[in-house]
A and B are shown apart, each in its own frame.
Chain A
Amino acid sequence: MRRTARKHVVAAALCGLAVAGGAHPDRSPAASPVLTQPLSPAAALGRKLFFDASLSASGKLSCASCHSPTHAYGPPDGRAVRMGGVALDREGMRAVPSLRYTLARTPHWSEDVTASLAERIRDAEAPAGGFGWDGRFDTLHEQAAFPLLAPNEMANAGPAAVVAKLRAAPYAPEFRQVFGARILDDTDAAFAQVLQAIERFELEDGSFHPYSSRYDLYLDGKVQLTAQEKRGLALFDDPERGNCASCHLDQIGADGSHPLFTDYEMEALGVPRNPEIHANADPHYFDMGLCGPLRTDQAAKTEYCGLFKTPTLRNVATRKVFFHNGRFHTLREALRFYVRRDTGPGLWYPAGKAGAAEKFDDLPPALRANVDRGDAPLDRQQGGAPVWNDAEVDDVVAFLRTLTDADAADAGSPLR
């Protein structure tokens, strides 16, 4: 059996244009080839594809436009969702996640398959895994097709449009050399190799897993955390208060590998509706994650509505957009929501008809019971004391800043 370990995302990134997470099959920093290992020919081509804006209908959008290498393969600015489409005038649906660290270790999407119904109910193992905020892609190559073809992203009309652009790319001869002289004559085969090449780049390139944060150095005994960072770590770990580490795993692995700060499980946090997203002007529109509307195969499972995947917290302090809908723009604000969601709901949610805060307003009323109210710190009562005061929030922010990679530090967002 499995005791419930619901999630509570301290600082969720966004999703949208591409994948989620980032990593390499080598988990240990010591074993990681980082930037020195040569890429396979397919991965080298994938790198060119990843950075090629000519593959978009607008001619101005590449994978890297949203997954900025100088921002830990996360969003380069604070827009909740990014613009795409032929004329770059269409909003993405969700915030952009970082691609660092988790890609190789993200399990295929799955739900609880315990044979005993009693165990399933008692232990409430959450659905987990898959790429994207809703876990709808099991592999990176499946996922890679989505942004290339989505009308509000790179907006190609179909694989043929992508391959046509590829034929004109300066690296087309290299593509033929790697995948066969006639590969570009076969649209389906060429498109499949495009997706595979992007996948190989994301898995092989050391820039997706540098393990260069101060926390990595701390785990290796090379630096000490400050007193404030240590306090923040303790608050992060405390199961009775922050309880963050129950989902954002922060312990060193059995093989000495460094933690990736996610368990890949799905969680309904009840993040407030974000008016910055134009689609939310329609009161009947709801992005409900696992149950749709973007993901369609779990639409009948209303208990899955509102669930999104727990992101890694590595490089979270470099971000300016938090949670799946980009509702918050500073890490401090995101953490304050987390610990005051229930003690002070009026801080986050609009007043309802009776004047009280309308909690979990980004879900239809009938589905708001899906939101986690059982796991600390999401189990508090209105008017009660938050599990962290503001000084303690700052302590946790200080700790989370130790998760910023060396090459991403300068891209950091203001924390207040």
Chain B
Amino acid sequence: MPGIGVRKLTILAFAAAVSFAGLNAQGQGGGQDDAGHVATAAAGIRHVFVILLENKNYEDTFGNSTQDPYLQKQLVSQGALLTRYFGTGHVSLDNYIALISGQSPTPDTADDCPNFTNVEQTGTTGDGQVIAAKGCVYGSGVRNIVDQLKARGLSWKGYMEDMGNDPARESATCGHPAVGGRDNARSFQGPSEAVPQGDGYVTRHNPFVYFHSIIDSPDCNAHVVRLEALPADLTSAATTPGFALIAPNLCNDGHDGSGDGRSRCKNGEPGGLASIDAFLQAWVPKITSSPAFQKDGLLVITFDESNSTMEKTTDPQTGATITNFVFPGKACCGQQPGPNLAGVRPGTTALGGKSSFVYEGFGGDRVGALLLSPFIKPGSTSDTAYNHYSLLRSIEDILGLDGHLGYAANDRSRGYVLDTIGNDRAIFREADKPRAK
């Protein structure tokens, strides 16, 4: 939303900090949050899976595209479509981090962190946001959903496709660059004799490694693993993690390739929504047929952010044509920009006088989300607005985690109110009417 970022930032700077009882004093929790309570059958969910995909507009994914019939037709008819689900920022990494921690971007995470540097935290806002002018990896005191899950005694895993395909580039478990070093896992590495499948893992789609509390723990190697580990974990409910984040490779998440043959991924696959659809066809049945999902599972399929739009303008000085790539940056739910985006979002970046990137707001625009669960009304739709923060809030509430992290907490004093997806009666069955088994 143009202009809103600066104004709200000013409000935040002078707002009184009111801690929510029971939340970590280092900045997780808002001013006037509500206790989590799930009023529908979603309260019975004990296993949450999230498949996070890349850079598609709601109108394409769930409307106009002919590349993803499995998702658009078959899965939508089986699940619940959230028509007003929003990303929380542009470009990628800030969305992933928001989803597991409630943290808003730093200028570097909003720029996908080409260098794997520590967040240089100078303070914490009253609503739990880390104040930092730069950096990517949060200090050990900054909580995320892993801390909450562990406190609750619940298991978790990140399943990262292609991670470690090239072991020289990144480890097959907990793959990340050396702290302070350059991130070389930023694009799809094409196939070679040594790495026949190529390597489509990128660090920025693995939010877990941006927290010292995770990468400094031996847990990381056991919990942030290759996607190939998922089938074995799905064999029983006991071995299936309570929370699982699944990141396909750069082709299967739609980041690369056009999907229509005009531009193929570096591994020869079509990419775009076509590869997304193929990935979902391969993996969704594995998940939905698993004992854990059948008993009490929820699968969320969504996207980090939308694509941009393109418009051409004329430079009044030179008369030259300038191509503007416009990210509307729309947000929902009273989303706040956070304390670190002044001058960054909204903002315009000119590139060589020929093109500009125009971020009109700080949000991530409308991407939509599809939910599958035994507790869901098949073929249902909800027009309630949600975003990655509200998904985090929803998971916290559904799994009974300790409080709400960062912007997953409501702050009614600032008009910031998130709905919990689990309370959405348009899509979930009533609590007293559990699914027949």
Contacts and interface: CB of A to CB of B under 8 A. Distances in A.
Given A114-B255, A121-B325, A1 B91 contact: yes
A416 interface: no
A118 B187 CA distance: 15
A27 B187 contact: no
Interface residues of A, number: 39
B334 interface: no
Interface stretch (A172-180, A221-229, A245-253, A319-327): A245-253
A2 B355 contact: no
Interface in A94-129: 103-110, 112-119, 121-122, 125, 128-129
Interface string A74-110: 0000000000000000000000000000011111111
B266 A105 contact: no
Q: How big is the B interface, by class? A: 35 or more
Contact of A118 (B168, B182, B193, B325): B325
Given A107-B198, A118-B310, A255-B167, A113 B175 contact: no
A121 to B, nearest CB: 6
Interface in B157-205: 167-171, 175, 178, 181-182, 184, 186-195, 198, 204
Contact of A105 (B193, B256, B259, B272): B193
Contacts of A116: 55, 255, 307-308
Interface in B245-293: 254-259, 263-266, 271-272
Contacts of B186: 2-3
Contact of B188 (A113, A254, A263): A113
A108 B266 contact: yes
B111 interface: yes
Contacts of A107: 189-192, 195, 198, 266
A115 B258 contact: yes
Contacts of B175: 254
B169 A253 contact: yes
Nearest to A28: B168
Nearest to B193: A104
A304 B380 CA distance: 50
A263 B259 CA distance: 27
A293 interface: no
A5 B257 CA distance: 21
A109 B357 CA distance: 29
A112 B250 CA distance: 12
Contacts of A128: 190
B171 A122 contact: no
B97 to A, nearest CB: 15
Nearest to B358: A118
B184 A249 contact: yes
Given A107-B192, A121-B351, A257-B168, 9 more contacts: A3-B112, A27-B194, A104-B193, A105-B168, A112-B187, A118-B325, A128-B190, A251-B181, A253-B167
10 contacts: A1-B204, A3-B111, A23-B194, A110-B188, A113-B188, A113-B257, A113-B265, A118-B357, A119-B55, A263-B184
Interface of A: 1-3, 5, 23-25, 27, 103-110, 112-119, 121-122, 125, 128-129, 140, 203, 246, 249, 251, 253-255, 257, 263
Interface of B: 54-55, 91-92, 111-112, 114, 167-171, 175, 178, 181-182, 184, 186-195, 198, 204, 254-259, 263-266, 271-272, 307-308, 310, 323, 325, 327, 349, 351, 355, 357
